[in-house]
C-alpha cells in the first residue's frame, strides 16, 4: 500500500464514518483503565479521543506518513488530559519493554498481516505487552460467501464526500478481488475528485491487500497466542456475533 497517498486521503475517505467504533473503544479504555496501547494508530482517530478522556496511551504504526498526520492533529489539539506517545513500530515484532492495561488493534489492523502465522504472532506480541489483569481487544469484518464469491474487480462507490480543503466532491471507489484459497483480498481504493462542473480534476489509486479471518479461525489464533476470550460481539452496539454480523469483536485476557 502507498501510505504516503493513504495518509493524505484516510481522514477524507472516512469523514462520514469516523465515529464508528470510537465510543466503543473509548468506553472500553475508560472501563479497563490505562495505560493503553493502540496497534495501528494511523492518523489518531481513536487514540486522540482516548487521550482527551484522560488516559495515557501509546500509539504505534508501521508507516511514518500516518504518524506525521497524527502528530499534526495532536499538535492542533494542544494539551490533552492524558498523554499520547506516537511511535513507529511493527505489530509482528513488537517489543516496547513495558506492559499496558488495555491493548487494542481496531479497524481490521490484524488483517494487514498476510499469513495466519503472522496474524497469530501479532496476537502473541499484543498479549506479551498486557498486564496480567489487562485486556486485549480487536475487530475485523465477518467474511461471507456473497462478499468472497460475488462479482470481482468492479469498482463501486463506497463513499461520496466533500474535500475539506478544495470543497470539491470526492468519490471513494472500491474494487474487491477476493481469493478464497489464500483468504486474501487484493483490493483497490480509488479517490476521484470532481469540480463543480463534474469534471475529474484528480484521481489516486491505492492497492490494499488484507488476509481475512473467519470466527472459528480467530478463536484458534486467540488460544494459540495465549489468550482467553471474555466477550465476543457482532457489532459496536455489543450485539451477538452471527453469520449476518458486520463485525467480529473480541475482548480477551491473558491466559
Give percent above pLDDT 70 in the chain: 98
Q: Is the pTM of this model over 0.85?
A: yes
Place of cell 492524558: 82
**Do 244 and 28 contact (CB within 8 A), yes or no?**
no
pLDDT digits (tens, 9 = 90+) for 177-211: 999 999 999 999 999 999 999 999 999 999 999 99
pLDDT category at 159 given cuts 50, 70, 90 is confident
Which of 18-27, 64-73, 121-130, 203-212 is most confident? 121-130
Starting at the edge strand that comes first in sequence, how are the strands of the sheet with 227-233 ordered?
84-88, 57-61, 36-39, 100-105, 130-141, 247-254, 227-233
| pLDDT number for residue 12 | 77
Taking 70 as the threshold, does the pLDDT of residue 18 lie above it? no
Instruction: Give the pLDDT score at 1.
Output: 65
Radius of gyration of the chain (CA): 18
On the question of pLDDT at 14 being above 90, the answer is no
Q: What is the pLDDT of residue 209?
A: 94
Separation between Cα atoms, residue 108 and residue 138, nearest integer Å: 8
Tell me whether residue 249 is exposed, middle or buried, using C-beta atoms within 10 angstroms of its C-beta: 0 to 12, 13 to 18, 19 or more.
buried
HSE-up (13 A, CA, CB side) for residue 176:
20
CB under 8 Å to 27, separation ≥6 — which residues?
A: none
Note every long-range contact of 25-32, with CB atoms under 8 Å and residues 24 or more positions apart, other chains counting. 25/50, 25/104, 25/106, 25/137, 26/50, 26/53, 28/102, 28/104, 28/135, 28/137, 28/251, 29/53, 29/55, 29/57, 29/102, 29/104, 30/55, 32/101, 32/102, 32/134, 32/135
Flag whether pLDDT at 99 surpasses 80.
yes
Amino acid at each position: 500500500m502507498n501510505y504516503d497517498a493513504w495518509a493524505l486521503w484516510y481522514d477524507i475517505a472516512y469523514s462520514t464514518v469516523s465515529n464508528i467504533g470510537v465510543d466503543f473503544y473509548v468506553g472500553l479504555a475508560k472501563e479497563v483503565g490505562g495505560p493503553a496501547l493502540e496497534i495501528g494508530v494511523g492518523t489518531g482517530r481513536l487514540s486522540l479521543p482516548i487521550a482527551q478522556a484522560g488516559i495515557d496511551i501509546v500509539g504505534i504504526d508501521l508507516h511514518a506518513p500516518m504518524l506525521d498526520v497524527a502528530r499534526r492533529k495532536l499538535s492542533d489539539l494542544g494539551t490533552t488530559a492524558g498523554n499520547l506517545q506516537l511511535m513507529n513500530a511493527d505489530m509482528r515484532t513488537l517489543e516496547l519493554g513495558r506492559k499496558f492495561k488495555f491493548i487494542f488493534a481496531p479497524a481490521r489492523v490484524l488483517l494487514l498481516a498476510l499469513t495466519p502465522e503472522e496474524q497469530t504472532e501479532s496476537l502473541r506480541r499484543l498479549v506479551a505487552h498486557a498486564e496480567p489483569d489487562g485486556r486485549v481487544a480487536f475487530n475485523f469484518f465477518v467474511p461471507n460467501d456473497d462478499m468472497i464469491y460475488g462479482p470481482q474487480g468492479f469498482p463501486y462507490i463506497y463513499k461520496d464526500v466533500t474535500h475539506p480543503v478544495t470543497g470539491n466532491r470526492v468519490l471513494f471507489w472500491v474494487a474487491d478481488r477476493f481469493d478464497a484459497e489464500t483468504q486474501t483480498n487484493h483490493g483497490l481504493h480509488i479517490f476521484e475528485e470532481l469540480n463543480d462542473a463534474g469534471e475529474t480534476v484528480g484521481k489516486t489509486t491505492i492497492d490494499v491487500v488484507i488476509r481475512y479471518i473467519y470466527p472459528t479461525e480467530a478463536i484458534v489464533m486467540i488460544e494459540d497466542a495465549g489468550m482467553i476470550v471474555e466477550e465476543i460481539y457482532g457489532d459496536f452496539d455489543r450485539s451477538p456475533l452471527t453469520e449476518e454480523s458486520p463485525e467480529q469483536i473480541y475482548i480477551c485476557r491473558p491466559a
